[in-house]
Amino acid sequence: MSTVMQHTAVRAGQHLRWSALAALLVALVAAPAHAQLAELTVGTKARVRAPSVVVGRLTGVVLTRGADSVTMSRENASPVTLPLAALTSLEISRGKSHGRGAWKGALWGGGIMFGLGLLLPMEECTDSGATRRCEPVSRGESAVFGAVGGATIGVIVGAIMGSERWERAALPVRVGVLPLRGGGVQVAASWRR
C-alpha cells in the first residue's frame, strides 16, 4: 500500500511541475497578438496569407487595425477584414530599392535576350560599295551579344522602376494546454514564419 501512495505522490508532484511549466509557457508567449505584430499599423503596405479568409496571397495597405483583426485594401476589390489569428504569413514592405531593381532588370533582360539570341541568331552584314553581304553569326555569339544588350537595357529600366523590398515578420506563438484524463497536462506550441 505504501508503494501505491508513493506513486500517487510522485504523479501529483509531476502534475504540479507540468502545470507550473505550462502556466509559465503560456505567460511567456501569450502576449497579445497586436503587441507581437507592432509593425502592422495603419498605412503599412503588407503581404499576407490567411487561407481561411482569402485565397492566395493578399497584398494591400492596412486601413484599420484592431486588437484582434486588421482591415486591408485590395486592388480592384473591396477591403477585407482579417482576424490576426488567421494569418499564416506576413511580410512588410520596406519600400523600393533602385539598386535591387537594376540587378533584377539585368537578370531578366540578359536572360531573355540570351534565350532569343540562341533561338534567333543574328547576321553580320557588310556593305562594300554597291553590294551588301550578310553572314550568319554563331548561336553562341548571338546569345552573348543579346545577353549583354538585354542586361544593359534591364539595368536602366530596373534602376528607374525600382524593386519592392519585403521583410518577413514573425507571427505570434500559439500555445495550447490540455488536461489529460489520467492526470497531467499536454502542452502544444506552434509558430509561423
In whole angstroms, give the CA distance from residue 66 to residue 79. Answer: 15
- What is the pLDDT at residue 154? 92
- What is the pLDDT at residue 137? 84
Amino acid at 101: G
Per-residue pLDDT reduced to its tens digit, 83-100: 988 888 899 998 888 998
- What is the pLDDT at residue 39? 80
Domains by residue range for the chain, with CATH: 2-93+165-190 (2.30.30.520), 97-164 (no CATH)
* SS (HEC) of 42-111: CCCEEEEECCCCCCCEEEEEEEEECCCEEEEEECCEEEEEEEHHHCCEEEEEEEEEHHHHHHHHHHHHHH
Residues in contact with 93: Cβ distance below 8 Å, sequence separation at least 6, in sequence order: 44, 45, 46, 47, 164, 165, 166
Nearest to 63 by CA among 50, 52, 74: 74
| Set of cell numbers at residue 172 | 505570434
- pLDDT beneath 50: ranges in the chain: 1-10, 12, 30-36, 193
- What is the pLDDT at residue 128? 81
- What is the pLDDT at residue 102? 92
- What is the pLDDT at residue 187? 63
Nearest to 45 by CA among 142, 167, 159: 167
In whole angstroms, give the CA distance from residue 93 to residue 105. Answer: 20
- What is the pLDDT at residue 33? 42
